[in-house]
Amino acid sequence: MENKISIIIPCFNSSNYLKETLNSIISQTYEIWECILIDDGSTDDTWPIIKYYEKNDHRIKGYQRPSTIPKGPSACRNFGLKKCDGNWIKFFDSDDILISYALEVITQKFKKDIDVVISSLKYVDEKLKPLDKKHKYISDNLIEDYITNKISYYTFTPTWNRFFLENQMEMFDENIINIEDWDFNLRMLYKKPIIVFIDEELILYRKHSLSLSKEIEKLNVKEFYSEIYARNKHLKLLAINKQAEIAKLRNYIIYRTKFFIRIFISEKQRIPYSAFAALVKQSFLTSNGKCVVKSFMGLFSFLLFKKGYIFFK
């Protein structure tokens, strides 16, 4: 069906917000859509909620992640792509909200030669109260600014032409559990898609408040490994496609690695060897001798006194 939008949502223990999300989709003024929900092994009421909505609206289809594919949103999105039949694809999250006329505004931009339509969003808190933060998503230096997170699309602001996606070698990298959207969108940008931007906030994006203890739980060693894997992946890709300065990504890796290390130090945890090694390596490759020296001073300070935060600022 022409201009049918497939909305793909991975869900894991999403019962607190999933009803609001689905209600925002059902209430769309544009009605030619389907919503593919993939439950990623939830232990709360996520699956019963999915089945309830599936029963009451034929456009909603629920699946449980097969045991044969890895756990995580990337694998669930890839699975959802195989189950959908729309000619436009919108990845979405299970706690965000579509403004009631969002799909109608987006479809007005659809043309056969358009690869992706990208809109803006409004940052809100858990209770949908607006936050004092502006979404930056348009740039004259698109790839370089996306690499360094000066602009962001997340997974849900783009709506992709299915034909464009089907011509790519790789969809979501199932080895990445952190910043998988950064990796996916960046690889799509390398292919020079024809983009239409909509200067309108069509999505309410929940920013959940996190204490430092919650932050360290989220940004754990496993997630750090995942992020470094993703960044290193793009160092290799940039060396081939030369679409941005590699030094810009190296410097951003240094910045992010220092961020992780400061959190570990604040929690009096060990500094993971991989984090320290990544920092020293990228500092050396960017000829940043000062950072190399400060890194070793910070490491020794932490090993001897459980301090050293200042050396990684």
pLDDT, tens digit, for every residue of 88-122? 999 999 999 999 999 999 999 998 899 999 999 99
Instruction: Indicate whether 227 and 195 sit together in one domain.
Output: no
Domain-ending residue, one of 143, 171, 206: 206
> Which backbone phi and psi does 227 adopt, to 5 degrees?
-65, -45
Q: For residue 220, what pLDDT is reported? A: 66
Bridge partners for 39 per DSSP: 11, 64
263 vs 279 pLDDT, higher one: 279
* Contact (Cβ atoms closer than 8 angstroms) between residue 127 and residue 209: no
Instruction: Indicate whether 162 and 28 sit together in one domain.
Output: yes
Domain-ending residue, one of 190, 206, 222: 206
Instruction: Indicate whether 172 and 94 sit together in one domain.
Output: yes
- Residue 35 tokens, joined: 């919503």
Tell me whether strands 97-98 and 195-206 are parallel, antiparallel or unpaired.
Answer: antiparallel
Instruction: Indicate whether 52 and 159 sit together in one domain.
Output: yes
pLDDT category at 212 given cuts 50, 70, 90 is: very low
pLDDT at 218 over 60: no
pLDDT at 215 over 70: no
Look-up of token digits 């809100």 = 124
Instruction: Indicate whether 190 and 285 sit together in one domain.
Output: no
Q: Could you tell me the pTM of the whole model?
A: 0.91
Containing structural domain, residue 198: 5-206
> Which backbone phi and psi does 11 adopt, to 5 degrees?
-130, 135
